[in-house]
Structures are given as C-alpha cells and as structure tokens.
Structure 1
Amino acid sequence: MGPHGLRGRRIPRAARDRDGRARPRVRRRPREQPHPALRPGRHAPRELDAVRPAERRVLRSSRPHHRGGLGIGRRREPRLGHGHSHRRRGDGRRARVHSLSVGRPARARRQRRRVRGRRPRRQPLRRRAAAAAAAEVRAGAAVITRRDVLRGASAAAAVLGPPAVARAQGPLTLRFKTIPDPDGWAPNLRLKGDWLVFEVGDGVLSGFGEASHSNADARCQEIARELFATHYADFALSLESLARKEREIAALAPDFVTATAFSGLNQALYDLLAKRERVPAWQLFRSGAAPFEALPLYTTIQRALRARTVEDYTTILREVRAQGFKTFKCAPFEAVDGPERAVEKAAAGLAMLTRLREQSPDLAMRVDFHERFRPPDFFAIVPELERLQLDWIEEPFAVGPAYGELRDRTRLRIAAGELFWGRARFAELAERRWCDVIMPDVKHVGGFGPLLDVLKMGAGRIEVSPHNPSGPISTAASLHAAAVFPELVRSLEYSFDRMQTRRGTGERIEEGMLLLSDEPGFGVAPPA
C-alpha cells in the first residue's frame, strides 16, 4: 500500500507511518457527561463550535434537521470536516462559520497547522502598503521616553485642573448661612428678612440654595432639617433621582414655609450636582454653546426705599438710571390696607405713579399691587393706570376668575403667580388665559427642577418672568433656568442693591444685564 492508500486517495504526510503506510485512526471515547447545553436530537448552537468534535458526534441524532425543506440532514462529517472553517484565513480576516459546522478532527487540524506553518502568509496589497508607510513614520519619528510622557501628563493636569469626579465624597450634610439684607426689614414690605442660604455638602463640594422671605426663617431651618433627614440624608444624587423625588414631593400640599424649605434644598442639590459634573447648571439640561451672554433685568426698588417720599423715589430712580437699568418696579399702594375705602386710599399711590412717570419718561414702569384690592375696586382705577402707560400690573387681587374679566377691561399686561407651589396653578393660568405673564419664584415653587417644569409647561403658551426680589443664589438659579428656555424668559426681577452688599458672591451685572457665568453650578456663593 503506497502513499495513495487502498482507495487511490493520497494519504497526507502527517497521516503516514514510518514505512509510508496509513496510520490507523484511533477514536477517543466520548465523555460520559457531555456539554450541558447539548441535547440529543437538537442542533448545536453556533457558540458550541469549540466543543470537542467527538463529544458532539456522540450526541448528534441521525434524524434529519428540522429544516428538511433545505435538504440539510444530521450526517456524520467526513474525515477532514465540512462547512467553513472557524479558523482565520490567510488574509487575516475571520472566515464564515457554517451554522451546522461542528469542527474538524484533531488529525486534520494538526495537518492544517503544519502546512500553514511552511508556507508564507499572504497579505493584501492595501495592508502591505499601510505597513510600509507606518515603517517610514516610525523610522523618522523621535524616541519618546517615559519621562517625556510623565512631563506631558503633569502639564495637562496643570491646564485641565482637578479630575471631573472628586474623590472621597462622603454622605450629604446640611448647613445654614445668612447673608444680611439691610433693605429687608422695612415695615411696609410684604416679605421680610435676610437672605437665608442652605448649604448641602459631601465633604468635598458644596451646593447652595436660597430659602429667603418665608417670614419665618427659624422655623424654615427646623423644617429643612427634618426634610433633609427624611428625604436626602442617604440620597444618591443624580438627575434621575432628583426627578423622582420631585414627583414624589409635588403631590404634597405644603404650607408656605415648608414649600420654601423644599425649594432651598432642591436648589442646593442641583448646584452640587452641576459642580460634580464640572458644568454650569444649565448644561445639565441643554448642550452646546450658551444661549445668551446676559439676561435683561428689571429692578424692584421697593426694598431700597426708606421714607417712601417723592424725594426718596427721585433719588432711587436716579441711581437706577445710573446703573443702566431700563425698567423698574414699585408698589406705592401701601395705604390700601383693607377693603374699606380702597379707591379713596389708592389716590396717593396714583399720584406717586404720575410723578414718577413725569420724572422718568425713558424708563418702563411695572407696578405690584400685592393683592390689596377687591376686583370691583380695582376695576374703578384701571382707566387711571392705563393713562400712565404701565408695562404691566402685578397681582391686583387674589388670582381667580375675576382675572378673565380684568383682561376684558384693560389692554395692560397682567402678571401673577409669584407665590405658587408646583406647576398646577400656573397651568391653570395659562390654560384659562387669565394673565399675560406668569411669575414662578424658585424659592417657593419647589426649587430649580420645578421651576424648569413650569417653564416647560409655558413653552409656546405664555411668557414667563421669574419672581425674584431676592439674594444672589436665587438670582443665579433663575438665570440658569432662563438659559435652559431662553425663548420664554425676556426679563428677570432683581432687587436693587443700593448698598452694594452683593459684592464678593460672583454675581456680575453690567448696564442692567445679568451675565451668565461659565463656572460650575450656579456660579455664585455666599461671601465667606
């Protein structure tokens, strides 16, 4: 028997013995416990192609495959295997694997490896050209040492600053700070007090939120401690967890002080989250370049007044004009202290507005009435207000169906909603068209996230101008909310800073415009 065997087929050199005869084939006994994923009579999945061939041969059924229409049966493969090889082809790409491939006998695989080792491996022309070009680059390139790499890394760290995620962040903690407001205690003010700031820290970073003007700062701090221990002590801070918590809290009907405490905590958590991400707060919700460089402000002068005389108003308006503001808001109707003789008592306020209009024809004027009137009494003074060409009238009486009648009686714009909680009341105002401008306050609406919900609700339906006779923290939070929805917010309220007490907080105002900071978070902090 020669090298061609008994049947005339040539026997591979690896299958011959020393005398040139064909070696007898020795089959291994299959394992007693086959692969657990194999089942008799079923097709072996593709991921089992690497299982020992003898093991699969034992478990393969002789019945035809379920795809009988294709003429595919369960047959014993020939000596050198069948189908496509699962090995790599000569050009380096992986060959297709037949769906019914079960591998090759061990002897054929050994022979294949010997033959592949003796012949040179072919390479496509494209790959050879790329290798030659890479060799030229390597030959001309300078040698880079480990010291060079370390120097470059240290230089990059100096430019980029600390890593984005701070290390060793601990559990959240709550502290309180108070920024004195020398203008916050006038007896005629509706909302009195200093600027109360909540600081939520994690041992590395701190986020700030404002909870001013609850008219009960001590009680607001006590409620905030209870709410923080209940809802945020073991809080995993993320946008998703904040949204879930906001939906949970939105169903509540808190009193005004509790709503203010919730709002301060929510602002601080968003500020902290943005600082962890090392982005301005508005970039948590909007990508790309900043939507604007600055937002127009209108300044409320009511807190800066002392004697509330004509001379006092005149002096303040001169300073307002000097600081570059184009619009101001006042509330000269403190004499209306009840429903009795309200129209008669309103005469002093109307006279003051007339003088202000004569002295400042170049400034737009907005008037806040603080719900001092009943609807019939206010309807009586509407013609006098229209003669003054006011930019808007704000909350003349409690929000309700009478606002619809007021809109029918006047062409003046109406603003309302400065102390509402959540988005439901604002949605009612927009749906029934009771006013032209809604005024959510980040300190009372529920915080930064709920303020964004109100802005989203008002998109394409109504103008939004956040209420904000407050400190630098809530001002910055309102600014970043406006940056998320720049097409909705045309102006932001600003408490006139006659005493320059806001310096050192990071707040920047130029010519009556509040500049949008690119610092992480809200970009401001209470002075040390």
Structure 2
Amino acid sequence: MDVTDYELFEVPPRSLLLKVETSDGLVGWGEPVLEGRAQTAAEAVRELMDSYVLGADPYDIELLWQQMYRSGFYRGGAVLMSALSGIDQALWDIKGKALGAPVYELLGGKARERIKLYAHANGADPGDAARSRVEEGFSAIKSGPGVDLEHIDRTPAVEAARENVRAMREAVGDDVDLMLDFHGKPSKPMAKRLVGELAEFDPMFYEELLGPEKNDLLPDLAERTAVPIATGERLYGRWEFKPLLESGAVDVVQPDVSHAGGITELRKIASMAETYDVALAPHSPLSSVALAASLQVDACTQNAIIQEQIVLNEDVPNYLTDMSVFEHDDEGYVDLPSGPGLGIEVDEDFVREMATEDAWDAPVVRRTDGSISEW
C-alpha cells in the first residue's frame, strides 16, 4: 500500500482539513491548519506531501515524520509543524483503519476508560455563559477574565476582572472546575497582580498568563501562587517544551495536536511531561477531526487530565456523519472512541459543501492608546 493522492479543504469556522488516499482505497483525515494563516499552512502541506509522502508506505509513520521534520534542513515553527501535524494525523487514521483498531491501541492501549471534556464560556454576561455550559452537562468550563489590561493598569481594571470571575464562580458553584485563560495578554506586572487577586475563586489552572516568548518569566509567577500554571498551545515540538519543563514553573502542558507535531509528537511531549510530574491537557479549539486525534492520545496517556473542545456547540459546523462518538455524561466525561483509526467518519459531502476560500482572520485588538495587544 502507498499514498496516492491528497486534497485540502478550508472550512468554517477556522479549519483546514486534509484527505489522504491510498492505493488500497483507504482514506485518512487530518487537520493541518494554522488559524488565521490557513493558506500558508496549505502550501506547506503541499510541499511536504509532494516531496516526502506521495508514493510512500503510510505505515511508516515515524520514518515519514522524521523525514518531513529533518530533511528540509530548516524545521520547526508554526507553519511547518502545523502542516506536519495534520499529515501525521491522517497517516495514523489510515493505519488504524487498515488494522481495524483505534489509534490508541497501536500506541500501547488504553490508560483509562473515559476522559473529561471542558467547554468554553463566552458571552456578555459571564455568569450566564458559565451557567449555560453547566446546564449542557459540563462540569469543567474555561473562560478569560473578560478585561483588556494596559501594560500597567490600575485597580478598577483588576476589580473588573475579579467581578467577572466572581460571577462565573457564583453561577456554577464550588463543584465545577473553572479554568482561566489569559491568552498571553497580560504583561508580567499585571500577571503578578492577577495571580494573587483571582486565587480566591479556586481556578483549576491559570492558562497562558504570558505569551510564549516570555515563558522564561513563568518561574517568578509560579512562586507567587499555589494555583497550577498551564501553557503550551503555541509551542511546536518537544524541544520547545524542554526548557519549559526544566524550569519547573508549569503544572499542565497544552500542546495542540494540529500544531505541535501531530499524534506522534503529542505522545512524546506527554511522556516528557510525565517525567516532571506535569499533566497533559491538549489544546483543541478546532474541528471534530482534531478533537478525535486528541482523544486518541488522551486514551493511552497516563498524565492526561482533561480535553478542550468546541465542537459540542450549536454555532460550530460538525463535519462528521455521526457525532455520537463525542456524547458525554452529565459531568462531561466521554467514553473512549472504539472505531478504527481516529474513530470518526467524516461527512465528505458536507465538507465539500462548506469549503470556502474566505479565510478566517485573527482579530486585531488595540489598547486605549491604539497600540496592539494580544487577542
């Protein structure tokens, strides 16, 4: 069996899906998107597929991964790793289908029976948004503090963040896990204030207190709070996670299966993290394909604790013929997928119907003086 063809589809809300075909008629799917730069990622996918994967044996996943990563001499980074990630997912999907087994069975077998999903709570009223997700059957939610801070800001802005988080905690009660995602927006001085001001609301973790280029500053923040610190969605490959883990500042790593190197690399990052007693909570604000790939790693990984998702939301198109693979109980736990490969069946007709050339652009966020902030 060898790889004979591939096709790319840019679909809403911000996904790029890859279909890989083989000489045996098997098809594998992956999600190699770089949000806001989908066409750039698509061109990188074409280069990697044309140079290294077409005509190759799809069973040789590790060999192909190393070839795509090392043979171009220049490697790593957001674009190339995102392209490689989606190709890797599709190869695992093919191999699992060929052998009639879920991917996690090929990675050593299950380490658990189920994994908890969490949902995002976004809206003008943070309390109502959080409460609605709990009513949908989630016992873990994530949201930001809802305030755009200046580089050095005053007490009223910090108080506004406190009130937003207070509203969420009071709306959902003490038994719901509440994760606070700062998206790398705060400066170090404001992050120092926030870790102290928000601790009373018992967050499960603080996510991306600082942007990834400032991870060397995290040890100072870690010393100021007992709340676990999470980060890693904008790191690419295990080598970028190495200094973060060695610093001792992080408690939860959040590599993205569509950016960090696919299923192959996510598994290796998780194993590295386990040696530092650091948990895994894969980042996945993408389509059902990326979520399915993430769940395959969660299934066989001892230190996986929770899984992000956005697909169980009426505003997000679902590209599967059967979404029941993601059905969860009233606490948000989903059973491990049982189908071969990624455990999903992509609705190709719907994918083709929804395919678009209107790229999603990341929002531009400005501070009061017009300077640029993270979004």
The answer for the alignment partner of 2:366 in structure 1 is none
1:393 aligns with 2:178: no
Match 1:509 to one of 303, 327, 335: 327
Deviations 1:247-293 (A, max 9, x none): 62697444423321121111111111221222111122215xx4333
* Equivalent position of 2:113 in the other structure: 293
- Shift in Å at residue 318 of structure 1? 3.3
2:169 to 357, 362, 370: 357
Name the one with the larger strand percent: 2
1:464 to 2:288 alignment: no
Name the amino acid aligned to 1:264: G
AA matched with 1:504: T
Shift of 1:180: 2.8
1:93 equivalent in structure 2: none
> Are the counterparts in 2 of residues 342 and 373 from structure 1 also a CA contact under 8 Å?
no
Q: Which moved more, 1:276-285 or 1:237-246?
A: 237-246
Supply the distance in 1 between the matched residues of 2:144 and 2:61 (Cα, whole angstroms): 39
Q: How does 1:61-140 map to 2 (within 5 A)?
A: none
Residues 424, 403 of structure 1: alpha-carbon distance in 2 compared, 3 angstrom cutoff: same
Aligned: 1:329 with 2:142: yes
Written as runs of structure 1 = structure 2, the 5 A alignment for 1:110-259 is: 169=1, 171-181=3-13, 193=14, 195-203=15-23, 204-237=25-58, 238-242=60-64, 244-245=66-67, 248=70, 252-259=74-81
- Aligned letter for 1:278? G
What residue number does 2:346 align with? 526
CA distance, structure 1, for counterparts of residue 311 and residue 3 of structure 2:
38
What CA distance in whole angstroms lies between the structure 1 residues aligned with 2:154 and 2:27?
A: 49
d(CA) in 2 for partners of 1:240 and 1:226? Answer: 18
Cα offset for 1:472?
A: 0.9
Q: What are the within-5 Å matches in structure 2 for residues 338-487 of structure 1?
A: 338-341=150-153, 344-361=156-173, 362-398=175-211, 399-461=214-276, 462-485=278-301, 487=302
**TM-aligned CA distance change 1:450 to 1:365, over 3 Å:** same
Q: Summarize the Cα distance change of 1:240–1:493 in structure 2 as closer, same or farther, 3 Å threshold.
A: closer
CA distance in 2, matches of 1:223, 1:356: 41
Q: Provide the secondary structure at the position in 2 that maps to 1:495.
A: coil
Is this contact kept in 2: 1:196–1:211, CA < 8 A? yes
Distance 1:411 1:431 in 2: 19
Please give the secondary structure, in 1, of the residue aligned with 2:286: coil
Question: In the alignment, is the contact (CA less than 8 A) between 1:294 and 1:516 conserved in 2?
Answer: yes
Distance 1:343 1:235, change over 3 A: farther
CA contact (8 A) 1:367 1:394 kept: yes
CA contact (8 A) 1:367 1:392 kept: yes
Q: Is the 8 A contact 2:311 2:317 kept in 1?
A: no
Q: In the alignment, is the contact (CA less than 8 A) between 2:206 and 2:227 conserved in 1? A: yes
- How many residues are matched? 337
Q: Residues of 1 paired with 2:154 and 2:82: CA distance?
A: 31
1:201 and 1:478 map into 2 onto residues whose CA distance is: 22
Counterparts of 2:86 and 2:154, CA distance in 1 = 36
The answer (yes or no) to whether the contact 2:48–2:68 under 8 Å persists in 1 is no
**Whose RCO is larger (CA < 8 A, sep 6+)?**
2
Report the equivalent of 1:96.
none
- Give the alignment's TM-score, normalised by structure 1: 0.60
Counterpart AA for 1:358: E
Cα shift at 1:412: 0.7
Partners of 1:300 and 1:469 within 8 A in 2: no
Letter in 1 for 2:5: T
Q: CA deviation at 1:395?
A: 1.1
Does residue 277 (structure 1) correspond to residue 102 (structure 2)? The answer is: no
Q: Percent of aligned pairs with the same residue?
A: 24
**CA 1:464 to 1:345, structure 2 compared with 1: closer, same or farther past 3 Å?**
same
- Go from structure 1 to structure 2 and tell me whether the alpha carbon gap of 1:331 and 1:293 turns closer, same or farther (over 3 Å shift): same
SS in 2 for 1:409: coil
Give 1:514 shift. 2.3
CA distance in 1, matches of 2:204, 2:256: 20
Amino acid at match of 1:508: F
Equivalent residue of 2:55, what SS? Answer: coil
Give the drift of 1:517.
1.7
Cα deviation for residue 423 of structure 1 reads 0.3
Equivalent residue letter for 1:445 = A
TM-score (norm 2): 0.82
Query: How many angstroms apart in 2 are the aligned matches of 1:252 and 1:524?
Result: 34
Q: How far does residue 335 in structure 1 lie from its aligned partner after superposition?
A: 2.1
TM-superposed deviation, 1:225 = 1.0
Distance between the aligned counterparts of 1:330 and 1:369, measured in 2?
8
Cα shift at 1:405: 1.0
Provide the aligned C-alpha RMSD in A: 2.3
Contact 1:214 1:256 (C-alpha < 8 Å) held by counterparts: no
Residue 448 (structure 1) shift: 1.1
